């Protein structure tokens, strides 16, 4: 059995130079190095709390849990990282530029305690999948992960510059069709 993929992406209303986003960026920069298990727990626990605070400002989101999902992990990662190769071009439509995307990615060995935790906590009724409360529950799950049993992790903030931002129409448009409105 292959590894299990777990990923969360949230579109957060966050204007350029929003202190919340600046703090998030500082948090990410601080941990850009090799990490221990406790470091990972602290990083992702802190991120989970940080994102939970902003859930009310998240109009769109997406999450996924895929068994045998190594390919999904790589597709998410590759897709995000490929963005870094293209110069940022703000939405020219004139719409307000005040959103950012934050993505958390995990790959855990099948059958491991981390896999079991995800399996138990992500087994939710479909009607609840897109509720903010569900995202809060999922972020809480991130903070609970036993990182001794997590194979790969990733965290990405798009755009990376806190002076830049998406427009909401942009995130509702081409290329982001998978993002769903949160209830």
Partner 1 sequence: MSESPKDPETNPAASLPFVMRTRFDQPELLGASWWQERLLAAPARAGGSVEPSRRQALQTLLALGGFAVLGVGFGAARCSSSRSSSTQTALELQQTHGLTIDANGVPFVFADLVFSVCDGTQFDNAVLQNLATLLRPARQDLQPFYVPTLFQSLAAPSAGPLRNAIRPMHNAALERAEARGAAIRELLAVLDQPQTLALVVDLPGPEAVAFAAGLAGAVDVVFGFDNWPHPRGVVPSHQTLAAALYYAPRLAQPLGPAPRPLCLVLDRNRILPYHNEPDRFDNRYLARLPDTKALRALGITRVLYVAAEGAKAEEADDLNDEFVAYREGGLSVQLLGTGDLRLADPAPATGNNTGNTASSTSGSGARGGHYLWHGSPMHHWWFWSHYGFPHRQGPLAGVQPNGPVFGAGYRPTPRPSAFTGRPAGGLGLLPSRGRSNSSSSRGGSWGRSSGFTGS
- Please count the residues of the chain: 183
Q: Which of 80, 142, 165, 182 binds partner 1 (CB under 8 A)?
A: 80
158: contact with partner 1 by CB under 8 A: yes
136: contact with partner 1 by CB under 8 A: no
User: How many C-beta neighbours within 10 Å does residue 14 have?
Assistant: 24
Q: How far is the CB of 89 from partner 1 (least distance, A)?
A: 9
Q: CA-CA distances (angstroms) from residue 109 to 64, 68, 75, 153, 180?
A: 16, 9, 18, 12, 28
> Residue 3 or residue 18: which is nearer to partner 1 going by CB?
3
Q: Are 12 and 100 in contact (CB under 8 A)?
A: yes
Give the per-residue contact string, 6-35, with partner 1 (x = CB under 8 A; - = no): x------------------x-xxxxxxxxx
Q: Which of 57, 132, 137, 151 binds partner 1 (CB under 8 A)?
A: 151
Nearest residue to 154 via CA among 20, 43, 17: 43
CA distance 87 to 89: 6
Q: Which of 17, 53, 56, 84 binds partner 1 (CB under 8 A)?
A: 84
Segment near partner 1 (CB under 8 A), from 12-20, 51-59, 60-68, 91-99?
60-68
């Amino acid at each position: 059995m292959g590894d299990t993929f777990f990923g969360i992406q949230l579109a957060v209303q966050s204007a350029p130079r929003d202190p919340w986003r600046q703090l998030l960026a500082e948090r990410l920069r601080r941990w850009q190095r090799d990490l221990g298990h406790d470091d990972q727990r602290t990083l992702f626990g802190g991120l989970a709390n940080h994102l939970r605070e902003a859930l009310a400002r998240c109009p769109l989101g997406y999450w996924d849990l895929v068994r045998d999902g190594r390919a999904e992990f790589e597709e998410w990662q590759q897709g995000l990282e490929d963005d870094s190769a293209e110069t940022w071009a703000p939405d020219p439509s004139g719409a307000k530029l005040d959103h950012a995307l934050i993505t958390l990615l995990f790959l855990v060995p099948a059958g491991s305690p981390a896999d079991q935790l995800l399996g138990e906590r992500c087994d939710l009724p479909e009607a609840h999948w897109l509720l903010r409360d569900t995202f809060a529950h999922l972020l809480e799950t991130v903070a609970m992960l036993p990182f001794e049993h997590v194979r790969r992790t990733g965290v990405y903030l798009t755009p990376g510059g806190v002076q830049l931002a998406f427009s909401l129409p942009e995130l509702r448009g081409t290329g982001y069709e998978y993002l769903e409105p949160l209830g």
